[in-house]
Amino acid sequence: MADVLPYKPRAGEIPTDPGVYRFRDADGRVLYVGKAKNLRQRLSNYFAPLRTLHERTRRMVTTAASVEWTVVATDVDSLQLEYMWIKEFDPPFNVRYRDDKSYPFMAITLADEAPRVMVTRNRRIPGARYFGPYPKVWAVHETIDLMVRAFPIRTCSDSSYRRAMQTGRPCFPGQIGKCGGPCSMKVTIDEHRAMVDDFVAFMAGGDERFTRDLTKRMQAASAAMDYEAAARFRDKLTAIDAVLGKSALVLPSDEDADLFGVAEDELSAAVHHFVIRGGRVRGVRSLAVDKELDISRGELVDQILQRVYGDSSDIPRRVLVPTLPDDAAELEEWLRQRRGRRVEIAVAQRGQRADLMRTATLNAQQTLLRHKTRRTSDYVARTQALTDLQEALGMDEAPLRIECFDISHLGGTNVVASMVVFEDGLPRKDQYRSFNIAETTDDTDSMYQVLMRRLARVDSGPERADEDEGEGEGEGEGKRRPRFAYRPQLLVVDGGQPQVQAAARALRDSGRTEIALCGIAKRLEEIWIPDDDFPVILPRTSEALYLVQRLRDEAHRFAITHQRKRRRRDIQTVLREIPGLGDARIKALLTHFGSVTALRASSPEQIGEVAGIGPVLASTIHAHLAGGQAPATR
């Protein structure tokens, strides 16, 4: 492969102005759209020597056959043009969004003669004002039912409304008190429009104004002994309180903001979006993102904001994000133009905002996990993953049984390994194994040892439960475990070429060269196979890549779990050697000091402060730990 791309522009040909650029393939399809404050500086990064580029960037520029650019007057114009082109061309190498579902919204049809409130997933109703999105349809219906008690606006369909206005007979919802529009014959069109305006203002965050106004009117009616009117105001207050009770005050009551929590790995990301109006969460949405190129957290936030606000008129005063994008000022100006008023983009760093950001990030992590594991629950997707993996690795048959190995240690000590098993693309947790490695020189030696021990047991009979090969997940010690059903078709190791070569040596030395082997390097998500100088790069949409990622992540999780169990056992063993210490006192000491390291650094007087530890026992503990070396818990 040549190190210089044939379509690379000549020196000085690319302008230094702000603009937007597009990479196209030989058929003219747009592969990638990007913006830059300085086109020459940005594009020069793509035309660096190919060996220095990120694997996925290299794949994009080598797939492309040409690059073109458009100069614009300002950075804000480049942001707007980038958004329009991404929406128009849907480039495969740009960030791609995968909403796992279409979320319901509450819509008020303000363009109608008598606006109605409705539940819809259609975001293109002319003149409608939207609130949400809501996580469930029932949540929107429940909110509407509560709101129309305080603001009785129209809920009936357009056909029912027209029929009622023509016949003079109220619509069915109006007959049962569920519709308060003009079709109910109780209010005029102007009076109804005023109630609609109040409904919209309340949903947009005017909570306190309505509560104060209704309270004053109820007290005035009561003082005038107009108890029927006072009762109506009381009922409206109760309805408003019910609505407010459904959404706790998470920020100050005058705060209108959108908050975005983000979780990501090398290939995917997930976003959890809180819509906050009047300090309360009025809507929530999660979406998954596929990443092709290696982009920073700031660039990802930039793309997310363009996606969310590109077609939306509901832009708040403040946008809270985990990381400021480099062009935050241009984004603020773009949003200001769309909103008509100033918009601030800020990082949630402390207080209530930081607490809410942690909640949103946790939800984003859960969304990312669901996004990555959802495919494995589908039989067609699992079959496709195994077929793709077979083709990518050049195997004669699909790997129906895959075993993945990971090495874990604590600063070179407490070295352990894990083996997780997937059959037909699904985990077999009863056949997970963990290994303790007493002596090793490095990770490659550890990998060789573990695989030699595993391969020696291929086709063996029932296994015994011993301390060497640890228990499978969910199993207790001392139980007989089922033998391995059959030899694996594929071994996967966590690591790059060094780990793969160590595993290949173990296969040769054990005489099991018929078993296929690959490794996955975490930084670039590359698939390495023995004796190849270059890795296999699977497409980001490949089912095989998701399967291998899940194998690697599961092996890592299981290794860490085993290591923590072993460390706890080691700590308990060290402390149990001290005369006079039982389980209750050991627990009290570890709870008080947090670790054996902190306990060892403490004086006898400090140890004696723990409940149940007297001066003599405190001196014994101090002397014992000072004379020996106990493993640290942290």
pLDDT tens figures, 277-299: 777 777 778 888 877 677 788 88
Q: Which residues contact 133 (CB under 8 A, 6 or more apart)?
A: 103, 104, 105, 275, 283, 284, 285
Asked whether residue 227 carries a pLDDT value surpassing 60, the answer given is yes
Residue 251 lies in a domain: no
Residue 58 has pLDDT above 50, yes or no: yes
The answer to whether 500 and 529 are in contact (CB under 8 A) is: yes
Strand ranges (E), 278-362:
280-290, 318-321, 344-347
Are 366 and 394 members of one domain?
no
On whether both 498 and 437 belong to a single domain, the answer is: yes
- Residue 493 backbone zone (phi > 0: left; psi -120 to 50: alpha; other: beta): beta
**Over the chain, what is the mean pLDDT?**
79
User: What is the torsion angle, in degrees rounded to the nearest 10, for the CA atoms of residue 70, residue 75, residue 78 and residue 82?
Assistant: 140
Residues 384 and 312 both lie in one domain: no
Q: Which domain holds residue 616?
A: 577-627
Q: Is residue 303 part of a domain?
A: yes
3-state secondary structure 87-148: HHHCCCCCCEEECCCCCCEEEEECCCCCCEEEEECCCCCCCEEEECCCCCHHHHHHHHHHHH
| φ/ψ of residue 324, rounded to 5 | -75, 130
Q: How far apart (Å, rounded) are the C-alpha atoms in residues 359 and 371?
A: 18
Q: How far, in Å, CA of 189 to CA of 183, rounded?
A: 9
Residue 287 lies in a domain: yes
5-14, 267-276, 535-544: which range is least confident on average? 535-544
Residue written as token pair 């400021």: 324
555 is written with which tokens?
């092996």
Contact assessment for residue 516 and residue 389, using Cβ atoms and an 8 Å cutoff = no
CATH number at residue 612: 1.10.150.20
Token pair for residue 461?
A: 């009979």
Q: Is residue 130 part of a domain?
A: yes
- Give the C-alpha separation, 203 to 280, whole Å: 10
Count of other CB atoms within 10 angstroms of residue 233: 21
Q: Residues 413, 526: one domain?
A: yes
Is residue 346 exposed (0-12), middle (13-18) or buried (19+ Cβ within 10 Å)?
middle
- Does 348 share its domain with 417? no
| Tokens describing residue 458 | 């291929």
- Write down the pLDDT at residue 506: 92
Whole-angstrom CA distances from 89 to 84, 156, 285, 439, 485 are 9, 40, 25, 56, 49
d(CA 291, CA 268): 5
| CATH number of the domain enclosing 421 | 3.30.420.340
d(CA 12, CA 208): 61
- Residue closest to 498 by CA, chosen among 437, 447, 449: 447
Residues 155, 213, single domain; the answer is yes
Q: State whether 236 and 289 are in the same domain.
A: no
Angstrom distance (rounded) from CA 33 to CA 69: 10
Q: Which of 22, 102, 24 is nearest to 70 (CA)?
A: 22
Q: What is the pLDDT of residue 403?
A: 92
Q: Does 546 fall in a domain?
A: no
* Domain match, 109 and 173 both: yes
Q: Is 185 within a domain?
A: yes
Q: pLDDT band for position 181 (50/70/90)?
A: confident
Residues 353 and 261 grouped into a single domain: yes
- pLDDT-derived band at 265, boundaries 50, 70, 90: confident
85 in a structural domain? no
Same domain, 386 and 528: yes
> What CA–CA distance (Å, rounded) separates 316 from 556?
41
- Domain with residue 25: its CATH number is 3.40.1440.10
Give me the half-sphere count of Cα atoms (radius 13 Å) on the Cβ side of residue 297: 12
Which of the listed residues 373, 396, 423 is the one where a domain comes to its end? 373
Tell me how crowded residue 571 is: count the other CB atoms within 10 A of its CB.
19
Nearest-Å Rg of the Cα atoms of the chain is 32
Model confidence at 3, in pLDDT bands (50, 70, 90)? low
Same domain, 232 and 265: no
Domain count, the chain: 5
Cβ atoms < 10 Å from Cβ of 284: 18
User: Which of 482, 502, 534 represents a domain boundary (last residue)?
Assistant: 534
Position 373 scores a pLDDT of: 67
pLDDT tens profile 556-587: 888 887 766 666 655 555 676 677 777 778 77
CATH number at residue 278: 3.30.420.10
pLDDT digits (tens, 9 = 90+) for 299-342: 888 888 888 888 777 788 899 999 998 888 888 998 888 888 89
Number of alpha carbons in the 13 Å side-chain half-sphere of residue 566: 25
Picking from 373, 393, 427, the residue at the C-terminal end of a domain is 373
Q: b or e along 357-385 (b: 16 or more beta carbons within 10 Å of the residue's beta carbon)?
A: bebbbebbbebbeebbeebbeeeebbebb
In this prediction, residue 481 carries a pLDDT of 47
> Could you count the other beta carbons within 10 Å of the beta carbon of residue 73?
10
Give which of 135, 143, 140 is closest to 285, Cα–Cα.
Answer: 135
Does 276 lie in the same domain as 220? no
pLDDT, tens digit (0-9, with 9 covering 90-100), for 459-493: 655 444 343 445 455 443 444 445 554 688 999 99
Q: Is residue 554, in this structure, part of any structural domain at all?
A: no
Average pLDDT over residues 162-182: 78
Mind listing the pLDDT tens digit for each residue in 78-94? 888 888 888 888 888 88
Q: Does an H or E element contain 166, and which?
A: helix 158-167
Q: Is the pLDDT of residue 629 over 70?
A: no
Reply yes or no: is the peptide bond before residue 133 cis, omega within 30 of 0.
yes
State the helix-helix crossing angle for 189-203 and 137-150, rounded to 10 degrees. Answer: 130
User: Which whole-number Å values give the CA distances from 140 to 66, 159, 342, in the listed order?
Assistant: 49, 22, 30
Percentage of the chain exceeding pLDDT 70: 82
Position 595 scores a pLDDT of: 67
